[in-house]
Amino acid sequence: MSTADAPARAAPRLPGARVLLIQAPYYEDVVGGMRAGVEHAVREAGAALETADVAGAFELAAALRMALASGRGWDAHVLLGCVVRGETDHYDHICREAMAGVGRIAAETGCALGFGLLTVDTLDQALARSRPPGHDDFRHNKGTEAAVAAMMQAALRRHWGLA
Task: Please list the active-site residues.
Answer: 90
Cβ contacts of residue 104 below 8 Å, gap of 6+? 61
Q: In sequence order, what DSSP letters do the residues of 38-93 get, joined into one string?
A: HHHHHHHHT-EEEEEE-SSGGGHHHHHHHHHHTT---SEEEEEEEEE--SSTHHHH
Cα–Cα distance between 122 and 106 in angstroms, integer? 28
Cα–Cα distance between 94 and 62 in angstroms, integer?
A: 13
Distance CA 95, CA 40 (A): 27
C-beta atoms surrounding 146 within 10 Å: 25
